Amino acid sequence: MAFTIQQSHPAFIITPHGRFLGHIEKTRWQQALSGMGDGPNLIVDLSATDFMDSRGVGLLIATAKVVRNQGGDVVLVGLQRRIKHLFVMMHLLGDVFAAYETVADASRRFQLSAAS
């Protein structure tokens, strides 16, 4: 799996491509995030992700915990039907992750938070 990372105000956007298997991708995921610094807001664009296992979900939860402890936040965009079902079944949408249809929608959420 490859990751695309973009720095965009007010958040970094990371886009995993293909299958997101947490036990395989953990090291590369952590390396990708290490260059972002402390407390960034993070938009995880899952529109190019066609499969995610429970360890991938766990990796996102761990990432959210670290980012939130540093004063940032993590949101999800572009959830494919099967991946969205996984997050719904695990009761993670709403309580743990906010989900948006597009990167633009998620970016507006961070811009509104910064303006408050």
Q: What domains are there in the chain, each with its CATH number?
A: 2-115 (3.30.750.24)
Confidence of residue 115 (pLDDT cuts 50, 70, 90): low
Place of tokens 């303006």: 115
Radius of gyration of the chain (CA): 13
CA distances from 105 to 1, 55, 102, 110 (A): 25, 27, 5, 9
Residues in the chain: 116
What's residue 116's pLDDT? 58
Peptide bond into 10 cis (omega under 30): yes
What's residue 83's pLDDT? 95
Query: Quick check: 8 and 42 in contact, CB under 8 A?
Result: no
Please tell me the pTM assigned to this model: 0.90
Of residues 22 and 9, the one with the higher pLDDT is 22
**What is the tally of helices (H) and strands (E) in the chain?**
4, 6
* Assigned token pair, 79: 């959830």
Tens digit of each residue's pLDDT (9 = 90 or more) over 41-98: 999 999 999 999 999 999 999 999 999 998 899 999 999 999 999 999 999 999 899 9
Confidence of residue 25 (pLDDT cuts 50, 70, 90): confident
Query: Quick check: 17 and 116 in contact, CB under 8 A?
Result: no
First to last CA, the chain: 37
Amino acid 91 reads H
